[in-house]
Chain A
Amino acid sequence: MSSIHFPIYSLIILLAAAVAIPIMRKNFDGFMKTFIIAALVGAWLFSLGSLINVFNHGPHVYNFGSWTETIGVQLMIDEFSAIMAFVILTIAGLIVVYSIRDMEHEIPLQQFGSYYILVYILLFCMVGITYTNDLFNMYVFMEILSLTSCGIISIKRKKENFLASFRYLMLNTIGSLSVLLGIALLYMVTGHLNMGEVGKVIAEVWQSYPINILVSLGFMITGLSIKAALFPLHIWLPDAHSTAPTPSSALLSGLVVKVYIFCAAKILFRMIGQDIVIALDVPTYITYFAALSMIMGSIFAIGQKDIKRLLAYSSVAQIGYIFLGLGLATAQGFSAALFHIISHALMKTGLFLSAGAIIYNKGKRDIRELDGIGYEMPITMGVFTISVLGMIGIPGINGFMSKIYLSFAVLAADKPFFLFVILASSFLNAIYYLPIVIAAFLKESKERKNIMVLDAIPKSMIFPMVVIGVSCVIMGLFPQLVMNAIEQVAPTFLTLN
């Protein structure tokens, strides 16, 4: 089979698995578990194949139905989308393996099927947004994505979940409408919906229709900022991510939010173009909000007592880092932002999975009750500690390398003020993460003596956590493995192709 079809195969497998679950047997037994994991592994293998293909043969486009791009839907398979789709499927695979046992204490057994339908449609949409090169296609995927995210939050039938997902839905609808209005304004000017075509037309006409393009850019950026949780518009995030079941939180916080940043990157750099973006002074605007996000996210997190809410606010701060890298509008900044997307996805997933394991085992969510838990669950707390050290910026873990790359990018773009913001934010991270680790390993638990035993959680939950922990350390010690690939992305992404 020709390998240019591999991305389509990934997408088809995900969608087919999602719709095949309702017609299978009702009870969630070994066959269904095997089926779910096999589908995900299949999709993952195809994305790996497409990644290898892109790095050997270069980027290419894929037109649905062999129509030309002015009338058809087009997928752009370049280094950026191949790498990001691979990362999304890897991390999602680990989360799904984890969730098979973890969801037992969150939802009743007969709803497992529904949960995995929603998860697979979510993955289908994420991979679709990553690959797509068509504006309206992106919009359709975004809408389905927001609906299914609401679904995986509110699958746990509690009042706070319903409230959180309702607010999420409302704000995301406002965001989607904003984006749709932007798309409509751009279509009015350019007459195309394909991102490449729109880019070409805008490069010629933006002097003649400046207001139109600017207004549409404003609407789209603000709409995407709501969905990606940039600082003042992040309000839905703490409730949504803290009340959702753990695998949902990990998926949302680690992957779904990043996908909207991909949309913003595509809009800014493929359609509007790097030169126009810098001429319009958009970077200033985005970087100021990013800096605000970095500091305020951490300050809000300091006072939180529920561990998942703390992790959610920390996500807000880390998304600020990514927007800072994006907003610099240089190739180095963009590479640093991509590196941080990957490393934050790994670290935040590690944090959420280990927090979920603690909740699964002990039922404790309050950080004041976590004394001495490092002795009962050493592997879990080990992964938690590695991720925390990465967030603070200790060398050897990938979080440190992403801060270094971001600092170099900031200084190369001649804005040294943001360097202080990055380091102040790292110190604030230390303030609220370290007490948890210290209490877990050093304080005496009231219930049992501090003797180290192995974790009493199922192996299918330990395995993803260990994989994430090890890959954080490997990526921290040998960041070139990832950075070499990412540095090939920036030139092809930022120039108009």
Chain B
Amino acid sequence: MDDLIVKTITRIIIPFIQVYGIYIVLHGHISPGGGFSGGAILGASLILYTLAFGYKDAAKKMPHHVGAILESGAILWFLALGLIGIFAGGNFLTNRDAGFYMGNLSMLFNAGLIPLVTLGIGAKVASTMITLFHTIIEED
């Protein structure tokens, strides 16, 4: 689409969408939301960019190899967190007994493992959505 109004509004609104997405991802263990929904919102922001500015610009912002690195990196991050549990003496994906910082209830940095994992999931979902969208768009 090559509309001036859409492009201008998009340029203003995208940061807010992304902040909102990051907020949902980070507060996944306190409030409703979490990795999947926050990641979807993050992904939606870049899809909006693609729709407004066209595929070529969006591909410069988020090329395929960056998406691949994000996805693989997220899973490896998840596995690494689980392995910390093993090396600390418990089973896979152990939370408190592996020494993660638990904190107090309803603080931002508590519940040990869960926010870290949620970050990974958020990144992965976002990049998956963008990659899928770009793959389907570029075949046209």
Contact = CB atoms under 8 A, between A and B. Distances in A.
A16 interface: yes
B132 to A, nearest CB: 14
Interface in B71-90: 71-73, 75-76, 79, 82-83, 85-86, 90
Given A15-B79, A65-B85, A22 B72 contact: yes
B97 A66 contact: yes
Interface in A23-64: 23, 62-64
Interface string A1-34: 0000100100010011001101100000000000
Contacts of A23: 65, 68-69, 72-73
B92 A65 contact: yes
Residue among B75, B76, B90, B92 with most chain A CB within 10 A? B92
B95 interface: yes
Contacts of B85: 65
A5 B91 CA distance: 8
B114 to A, nearest CB: 11
A19 B93 contact: no
A5 B72 contact: no
Contacts of A15: 75, 79
Main secondary structure of the interface of A (DSSP, over half): helix
Given A65-B85, A66-B97, A19 B92 contact: no
A66 B90 contact: yes
B118 interface: no
A12 B83 contact: yes
Given A5-B86, A8-B86, A12-B83, A20 B76 contact: yes
Nearest to B69: A23
Nearest to B74: A19
B26 to A, nearest CB: 22
B82 to A, nearest CB: 8
Contacts of B82: 12
B94 interface: yes
A5 B79 contact: no
B120 to A, nearest CB: 12
B15 to A, nearest CB: 28
B72 A63 contact: no
Contacts of B79: 12, 15-16
B94 A16 contact: no
A66 B95 CA distance: 8
Given A12-B83, A19-B71, A5 B76 contact: no
B92 A64 contact: yes
A66 B86 CA distance: 10
A344 B129 CA distance: 41
A66 B94 contact: yes
B34 to A, nearest CB: 17
Contacts of B69: 23
Given A16-B76, A16-B79, A65 B94 contact: yes
A414 B95 CA distance: 53
Given A5-B86, A12-B83, A65-B85, A22 B71 contact: yes
A415 B40 CA distance: 57
A111 B11 CA distance: 37
Contacts of B83: 12
Contact of A66 (B65, B72, B91): B91
Contacts of A19: 71-72, 75-76
A64 B91 contact: yes
A179 to B, nearest CB: 23
Contacts of A66: 90-91, 94, 97
Nearest to A65: B93
Nearest to A8: B92
A5 B94 CA distance: 13
A454 to B, nearest CB: 42
A372 B92 CA distance: 56
Contacts of A5: 86, 91-92
B100 to A, nearest CB: 11
B62 to A, nearest CB: 15
B97 to A, nearest CB: 6
A16 B72 CA distance: 8
Interface in A392-410: none
A387 to B, nearest CB: 38
Contacts of A64: 91-93
A12 to B, nearest CB: 5
B64 to A, nearest CB: 9
Nearest to A7: B92
Nearest to B67: A22
Nearest to B91: A66
A289 B140 CA distance: 48
A63 B95 CA distance: 12
Contacts of B68: 22-23
B91 A65 contact: yes
A102 B103 CA distance: 55
A20 B72 contact: yes
A65 B113 CA distance: 10
A5 B68 CA distance: 29
Contacts of B73: 23
A355 to B, nearest CB: 34
Given A20-B72, A63-B91, 9 more contacts: A5-B92, A20-B76, A23-B73, A64-B92, A64-B93, A65-B85, A65-B93, A66-B90, A66-B91
13 contacts: A5-B91, A5-B92, A8-B86, A12-B79, A16-B75, A23-B68, A62-B91, A62-B92, A64-B92, A64-B93, A65-B90, A65-B91, A65-B93
Interface of B: 65, 68-69, 71-73, 75-76, 79, 82-83, 85-86, 90-95, 97
